[in-house]
Structures are given as C-alpha cells and as structure tokens.
Structure 1
Amino acid sequence: MSSARKCITILAIDDDQGDLAILRRLISRIEDWDVSLHLHSDPKAGLEQLASAPCDLVILDYDLGKENGLEVFARIRRAHTELPVILWTGRGDSETEERARSAGVSEYLPKNSVDRESLRETISGVLALH
C-alpha cells in the first residue's frame, strides 16, 4: 500500500540564482512530495505572482539586494496574514534571527545548515502549524 504524496505549492524569492538552484535541487529530492515550486530572483516578480496565484508557503531570502527579506515579509504579511513564511539566509547570526522572529516569520533557516532532511522537517513543521 503506498502512502499519499504531499502536494504543496512553494514560492521562493532569492536574488542569488545559485541559491535558488540549490533550493530546487533539495526540494526535488524529497521523494514523497509533489511540489509546485515557483522561483523568483526579483522580489517584485515574486510578490506579483503571489498576488495572482496562491501558494502554501513562501521561502524568502534575507539579503535581496536593494531591500531585505524583512521588508518584503512585511508586504507579504499585509496581504496574506496567515501565509507561512520561512526566512532563509546566508546571514546566520543571532541578531538577524531575533529580528526575523520578532517580525513574525514562521521559521528562520540559515543556508549553511540546510540539507534535504532539515529543509523537509522545517517545511513540514511550518505547514503543520498553519
């Protein structure tokens, strides 16, 4: 008897194409998930997609060039008060984590500690709470 696959839609916003490729590869290796993954390197394009197509979860980079992820998160939160958002960042310091959690992000995930299983656990945990 096979178990049901988890079907989720994820929007990822990160200005680093290499990090988006890593995220795509990690998520594609989660065997029992059917993920519709939408990747955007431009926050504006990501927000436009979110406005026109719902998703189950947003994975948002902290350092987005001209603006930071917490500024983009505030814009997401104004329109989508319950949408889970994971802030993933190369800036894995306690000050950034504290600011992210105070702002209300669902989870904080340093990029340097992410592997397939930790990403799976983080996403599953966040979705279970929402």
Structure 2
Amino acid sequence: MSAPLGKILVVDDEREILDMLTDHLEDEGYVVSQAVDGEQALEGVRSEPPDLVLLDITMPGVNGLEVLRRLRRDHPKIPVVMITGIEDEALARSTLKMGAFDYLQKPFDPYRLSRLVLAAMGAAFDSRRAEPGVPRGTARPNRLAE
C-alpha cells in the first residue's frame, strides 16, 4: 500500500457534504478527518494539524469566517479552501482577502475539487519544504506525477 498523499480536514455541518468529500478524497489517496462545526475544526487542527482544511462558510456557532481568521492567526501555513452553497462573489473575494487559498461553490465539480486540492497541497508542501523538523510524508502532492 502506498503512503497517503496528505491529511485533509473537512469541515461542514451537512453530513451528506462531509461524506461525499471524504469518500472522494479518500479515493484519491488522502487521509481525511471530519468536523461538523467550527469548534471541532479548531480542536482538530490543534490536536493533529492537517496539510489542508476544506471549510464551510455557513455553520452554526463559530462560523467558517471566524475559523478562517483563527487559522490564519494560529496556523498560517495550513492552506484553507472555503466551501459554500451561497452564491456571493463579494463573500468569496473577502475570504481570499482573509487568507483563504481559494473557494469552492456547492455543488462541487469533482474534477475542479481534485485540481484545487492538489494545488493547495502543493502550496502546503512548498511552504513546509524549507522548514526544519517537518515530518517526512506530509503534504506530498508530487506522488501523482510518479
């Protein structure tokens, strides 16, 4: 069995979205963990930092914008891709200004999802490559080219 391509945390309060994203990403070779709200997401990042976070904007309690703000402050090297069912170009642009890597509109195009995840994992890999003490095997998007 080959090594996983990286660890992804998927955050969404809709179980169907969580399961669909998890199934798709695991099929592509990623290790996926899930969170159903902002607090769970922040705890997951603290306890086991992922290589990438896919983060819903609209959630009860701590919403995705607040989670993004805290992640940028506390874990600036972890790329965050915002996911939303709201068609609001201004909101999408504001998440990019806040430091999101990119955003995806629900429903997802599987091809775009795969390409975006690969690009974000590449960014994570590039930002960590020069860091001392980074464990081998994290954020290895180049395996697809092997």
| Shorter-chain TM-score tier | 0.7 to 0.9
Q: Secondary structure at the match of 2:6?
A: strand
1:40-97: CA deviation from partner (whole Å, max 9, x where unpaired): 1022122112111121000000001233211111111111011100001111321111
Out of 41, 61, 66, which is 1:71 matched to? 66
Any conservation in 2 of the 1:29–1:116 contact (CA below 8 Å)? no
Match of 1:52 in 2: 47
Q: Secondary structure at the match of 1:7?
A: coil
Any conservation in 1 of the 2:37–2:62 contact (CA below 8 Å)? no
Matched AA of 2:106: K
Residue 62 in 1 paired to residue 57 in 2? yes
Identity %: 29
Structure 2, unmatched stretches of 5+, are 125-146
Q: Report the CA distance shift for 1:115/1:27 in structure 2 as closer, same or farther (over 3 A).
A: farther
TM-score scaled by structure 2? 0.77
Match of 2:96 in 1: 101
Any conservation in 2 of the 1:87–1:100 contact (CA below 8 Å)? yes
Q: Which has the higher strand share?
A: 1
Rounded Cα–Cα distance in structure 2 between residues aligned with 1:53 and 1:24: 17
1:1-50: CA deviation from partner (whole Å, max 9, x where unpaired): xxx765210011111111111111222332xx2x1100110221221121
Which segment drifts farther, 82-91 or 20-29? 20-29
TM-score scaled by structure 1? 0.85
Structure 1, unmatched stretches of 5+, are none
Matched AA of 2:24: L
Q: How many residues align?
A: 123
